[in-house]
Amino acid sequence: MTARPGFDAVRRAFVGPDGTAVATEVRPLGPAEARAVLGDHVAVAVTDRPILENLVPGKEITHAVAVGNGDRGALVYTTRDAGELSTLVADAIEAATADLAGTVRRLQGEAVVLDALHSTGRELTAQLDIDRIVQDATDAATKATGAAFGAFFYNLVDEFGESYTLYTISGVPREAFARFPMPRNTAVFAPTFDGTGTVRSGDIRKDARFGKNAPYHGMPAGHLPVCSYLAVPVISPTTGEVLGGFFFGHPEPDRFTTRHEYLADGIAGYSAIALDNARLYERERTLATELSRSMLPVAPPTPGLDVLTRYLPAATGSKVGGDWFDVIPLPSGATSFVIGDVVGHGVTAATVMGQVRTAVRSYARLELPPSEVLRNVSELTGGLFGESFVTCFYAVHRPDDGTLTYANAGHLPAILVRPGEAPEQIGEALAQPLGIGTTFPQRTTAFPRGADLVLYTDGLVESRTRDLTLGIEWLLAGIPALLAAPDLGAAWDKLVGELTGGQHDDDIAVIHVRHRGEDGR
Amino acid sequence: MSAMAERDVTGNSLGDAASSAGAARLEDRDGTAVLHVEGALDLALAPKLRQLAERAARQRPELLVIDLTGVTFLASAGMAELVRAHRATAALRVVAGGRITLRPLELTRLTDELAIYPSLSAALAAR
């Protein structure tokens, strides 16, 4: 083995009766062995036979010195006659390094504390789920402070804007606190609930603020005994609002040190960031959902046409916001059908969608031909949103001549079923998406009495696990049964369930137009 | 860097797509930047693709090839990034051999705008 430089001095101290160096060997010690043999010492003379036999079996060791080096160590030993030096060697090393060793131990202790705090912080701030954040934070802080039990009271705001308080418990079963009311803003708790500072007490019962408030004047009967007390407010770094407070207790006095206070403060700081993130995320998600739902139209009654619509926002909230549809009665008596999809998610996509939808509606009301509607919106989209990618199928039904005129900006084809004919895809690959394409050719086809038109978005036919081509085939295959069903709405719900396997991580929008025909010619 | 084995997989399979969160990495092949994309190219992976495409563009390669051979799902978010890369990069080639990647590009007519090759070797050879 290669002797490390640090041990050479120790090896040279092994000298025989004639003053010359004797042969030594080095046996490295793992962390557990080093702790067992050295304890808090930097060097010790090892004379205990069983220990030596355990570390170096089968050797008649005459002298041995264990030396620590970080969390590891080494045993330097000889089987020769080397006088009685080993104890002196160990004592000398110990004396020379005592101060240093103390400092190293203290710094190692600090490093452990910082490591623990850092890893707790990293785990907390990587989460967006409030329930997990509060429980993990309470567990980590209770452990770090050595408290008998810990609690985290945190404030939330419900959908009506009312705030309410929940709590987590660590160290004891939740039932231990279930019988007690929520702590109120009493003299003892005030600094925590008001966010004015940390309270640390060797014996809270002797604190001047303790026992001042009715009805309990102290802890309620049956409360777990609290003597040592530590309480830290959790304050939002963005708003300065008090998000909650950590409370730690121990039945014995003087259990919480400045280091415990430091750790609790640190974890409270990370918890505040994590809770802030979770709240902002939740707010954005709710806003996007609300925004996209508020913009979804109810199809107005259209003479001669039955219009059925479906809108299923993404099951996973982060993707909500991109799909839309519209049914627009035009001044001439024609009706426009629009379906589209804005790439992206959240508030940005929902906002772009709202504006594109309004633009389509506006040009539609001017009764521009479909190719002109899409060309105008595309120019507007490219200029307004620069990097947008919006697909849109636009169709106009004219009851006076029984036609359907349509253009398609990169959207999936529509499905047209004329009476007695097989489902047919129309408008496939006519043009590029809005914001990218510049020309949008239009087509006109017959839309007779009894015909059906289906417009849909990609969430219906594709996903990470469903190939688009197959998805469209399956949709087409499902159409005849759908058209024959007595209840079209129920039939659509069933078909959507079958196509998506009941799961969809993208929005789904569908418009189904059925030409009843009494107003047609 | 030509030691890397080339794959000419044109028939993408959906077999392992269920758990296929996407991945992207950039490779320099003698002045040609090759951006390999695998798994689902959707909203989750689109920002990574943009970041790598922009990094590649800063090094001013003669050619940027975005290889979609290993892509199991090409969503609109991914196509939007292809258009962006195309408009920001002088010479962009896209490798899309199988139906899974070609079909969405055809339906959006991005095939009109993007230079599409059936395999990476074809994209690299046609100089």
ipTM of this complex prediction, to 2 decimal places: 0.82
Give the C-alpha separation, B67 to B70, whole Å. 8
**Residues of A whose CB is below 8 A from B109:** 410, 429-432, 437
Query: What's the pTM value of the predicted model, to 2 decimals?
Result: 0.64
Say what percent of chain A tops pLDDT 90: 43
Q: How confident is the model at residue A84 (pLDDT cuts 50, 70, 90)?
A: low
Radius of gyration of chain B (CA): 13
Instruction: Select from A434, A429, A428 the least CA-distant residue to A342.
Output: A434
Chain B CB within 8 Å of residue A430 CB: yes
Chain B's closest residue to A468, CA to CA, is B100
Give the C-alpha separation, A245 to A258, whole Å. 18
* Class at the top of the CATH hierarchy for domain A296-515: alpha beta
pLDDT tens digits for range A344-391:
777 778 888 888 999 999 999 999 999 999 999 999 887 666 667 899
Place of tokens 């046996």: A27
Chain B CB within 8 Å of residue A299 CB: no
Q: Which residues contact A310 (CB under 8 A, 6 or more apart)?
A: A492, A493, A496, A508, A509, A510
Give the C-alpha separation, A348 to A238, whole Å. 22
Judge whether A127-285 and A296-515 match in fold: no
Are residues B113 and A345, on separate chains, in Cβ contact within 8 Å? Answer: no
**Would the pLDDT of A131 be above 50?**
yes
**Would the pLDDT of A119 be above 80?**
yes
Closest-CA distance, B78 to chain A, in angstroms, reads 9
Nearest residue, CB atoms, A389 vs list B72, B73, B80? B80
**Residues of B whose CB is below 8 A from A431:** 109
**Would the pLDDT of A214 be above 80?**
no
Instruction: Select from A364, A361, A363, A357 the least CA-distant residue to A342.
Output: A357
Nearest residue, CB atoms, A389 vs list B40, B76, B109? B76
Closest-CA distance, A344 to chain B, in angstroms, reads 7
Q: What is the pLDDT of residue A385?
A: 63
Tell me the residues of B at the A interface, defined by beta carbons under 8 Å apart. Answer: 14, 17-18, 20, 40, 42-43, 72-73, 75-77, 79-80, 83-84, 99-100, 103-104, 106-110, 112-113
Are residues B43 and A432, on separate chains, in Cβ contact within 8 Å? Answer: no
pLDDT tens digits for range A160-204:
777 788 889 999 888 887 777 778 778 888 899 889 999 999 999
Are residues A464 and B80, on separate chains, in Cβ contact within 8 Å? Answer: no
**Would the pLDDT of A2 be above 70?**
no
Q: pLDDT tens track of chain B, all 127 residues?
A: 333 333 333 333 333 334 457 899 999 888 899 999 999 998 889 999 999 999 998 888 889 999 999 999 999 999 999 999 998 887 999 999 899 999 999 999 999 999 999 999 999 997 6
Are residues A428 and B107, on separate chains, in Cβ contact within 8 Å? Answer: yes
Chain B CB within 8 Å of residue A319 CB: yes
Are residues B17 and A465, on separate chains, in Cβ contact within 8 Å? Answer: yes
| Residue ranges covered by each domain of chain A | 5-96, 127-285, 296-515
Give the C-alpha separation, A263 to A120, whole Å. 10
Closest-CA distance, A390 to chain B, in angstroms, reads 9
Q: What is the pLDDT of residue B15?
A: 38
Closest-CA distance, B104 to chain A, in angstroms, reads 8
Are residues A389 and B14, on separate chains, in Cβ contact within 8 Å? Answer: no
CA A491 to each of CA A324, A339, A369, A411, A456: distance values in angstroms, whole numbers, following the listed order: 21, 21, 33, 24, 15
Cβ neighbours of A361 (radius 10 Å): 15
Chain B CB within 8 Å of residue A335 CB: no
Q: What is the pLDDT of residue A88?
A: 72
Give the C-alpha separation, A353 to A341, whole Å. 8
Q: How confident is the model at residue A81 (pLDDT cuts 50, 70, 90)?
A: confident
Number of helices followed by number of strands (H, E) in chain A:
12, 19
- Mean per-residue pLDDT of chain A: 86
Q: What is the pLDDT of residue A503?
A: 78
**What is A127-285's CATH superfamily?**
GAF domain (3.30.450.40)
**Residues of B whose CB is below 8 A from A428:** 107
Query: What does the DSSP 8-state code read for residue A464?
Result: T
Cβ–Cβ pairs < 8 A, chains A and B = 71
Instruction: Select from A378, A441, A376, A432 the least CA-distant residue to A406.
Output: A441
Closest-CA distance, B114 to chain A, in angstroms, reads 12
Please tell me which residue, B43 or A105, carries the higher pLDDT value.
B43
Q: What is the pLDDT of residue A321?
A: 62
Are residues A391 and B76, on separate chains, in Cβ contact within 8 Å? Answer: yes
**C-beta of residue A418 within 8 angstroms of C-beta of residue A448:** yes
Closest-CA distance, A402 to chain B, in angstroms, reads 27
Place of tokens 């469209």: A472
Please state the rounded mean pLDDT for residues A410-421: 96
Please tell me which residue, A53 or A217, carries the higher pLDDT value.
A53
Q: What residues pair up with A169 in beta bridges, in sequence order?
A: A151
Q: Which residues contact B73 (CB under 8 A, 6 or more apart)?
A: A462, A463, A464, A465, B17, B20, B39, B40, B41, B42, B100
* Phi, psi torsion values for A329, nearest 5 degrees: -70, 130
Are residues A468 and B103, on separate chains, in Cβ contact within 8 Å? Answer: yes
Give the C-alpha separation, A340 to A297, whole Å. 13
Q: What is the pLDDT of residue A185?
A: 79
Place of tokens 């078909």: A495
Chain B CB within 8 Å of residue A464 CB: yes
Q: What residues pair up with A246 in beta bridges, in sequence order?
A: A152, A232
Chain B's closest residue to A459, CA to CA, is B75
pLDDT tens digits for range A434-477:
989 999 999 999 999 999 999 999 999 988 888 899 999 999 99
